[in-house]
Amino acid sequence: MANVSTSYDYLFKVLLCGDCGVGKTSMLCRFISDEMNDAYIATIGVDFKLTTLEMRGKMIKLQIWDTAGQERFKALTAQYYRRAQGIMLVYDITNEQTFENTASWLRMIQENSTSDVKLMLIGNKIDNEQKRQVTTHQGQQLAKDYGMDFFEASALSSENVSEAFSTFTENILKHMQGRYKEMVGSQVSLNKLGLNDSSTKPKRESPCAC
C-alpha cells in the first residue's frame, strides 16, 4: 500500500514518459502498491498517484504523473512537463524502436520543461533478457550524453523498480537543497556588499514647498 503522509517537507512532481507499451503504468503500480497486472489498458491523457518517502531526515511527498505514450496525447501532456521537478523516460529493452524514439521524447522534454529538471532513463522489461534488443551500454551512453540517471528494471519481477524511484527522489532532493544553498549564499553575499541595504539606495529629495 502507498504510504501517503499528510505532513511533508517537500513536494516533488515526477513525470513518467515514453512510448505506449513500455510499461510506465506497470512500473508505477509496482512502486506504489507492489502490484502487477498484465491487463493494464493504455493510459488516456494523464493519471497520477501519491506516495511519501523519508529521505535524509526529510519527508518527501511524490506526485507521480503517468502520461499517455500515444502521439495524439502529446500536446495534452506537454503542459505537465513545466511543472515537474523530475522526469523519468522509459523504454522497453526488448523493443529497439522504443529506444530510438527516446530522441523525440528528449526533444519534447527540452522544449517544454524547465532547464534544471532532473532526468532519469529507465530500460524496462529486463525479466525478458532473451528478447533484449537494446544493450545496457546503449542505455548508459544515452544517459551519459544527456546527463541523466540510468537504471534497468522490471515491473514484472519488481527488480530495481523501488531502487530507481528512491534513487531519483534522493537526487532531486540533493539538487533542490543545493539550489537553496546557492540562493541563500547569493543573498548573504549581497548583504555583505550592502546591495540589499536600503540605506545605500539614493534618497529622493523632498519636493520643494513653494
d(Cα 38, Cα 23) in Å, to the nearest integer?
Answer: 10
Q: Given this model, what pLDDT does residue 129 score?
A: 97
- Average pLDDT on 102-125 reads 94
Q: What is the pLDDT of residue 27?
A: 93
Q: Which residue has the higher pLDDT, 196 or 178?
A: 178
Confidence of residue 106 (pLDDT cuts 50, 70, 90): very high
Please tell me the predicted confidence (pLDDT) of residue 204: 43
Q: What is the rounded CA–CA span in Å between residue 19 and residue 103?
A: 11
Q: Would you state the pLDDT for residue 16?
A: 93
* The pLDDT of residue 196: 52
Q: For 75-94, what is each residue's pLDDT tens digit?
A: 656 778 888 999 999 999 99
Contact (CB, 8 A) for 33 and 103: no
Radius of gyration of the chain (CA): 22
Kindly report, residue by residue over 13-50, the tens digit of the pLDDT.
999 999 989 999 999 999 998 876 654 444 544 678 89
Quick one: pLDDT at residue 115? 87
Question: What is the per-residue pLDDT for 205?
Answer: 45
| Residues 101 and 60: beta-carbon distance below 8 Å | no
pLDDT tier for residue 209 given thresholds of 50, 70 and 90: very low
> Which residues are registered as beta bridge partners of 67?
46
User: Is residue 87 helix, strand or coil?
Assistant: strand
Q: Please name the amino acid found at residue 164.
A: A
Summarised one tens digit per residue, pLDDT across range 130-181 is: 999 999 999 999 999 999 999 999 999 999 999 999 999 999 999 888 766 6
Q: Under CATH, domain 10-190 is a member of which superfamily?
A: P-loop containing nucleotide triphosphate hydrolases (3.40.50.300)
Q: What one-character-per-residue DSSP string does 142-185 give?
A: HHHHTT-EEEE--TTT-TTHHHHHHHHHHHHHHHHHHHHHHHHH
Query: Is the confidence at residue 187, as pLDDT, over 80?
Result: no
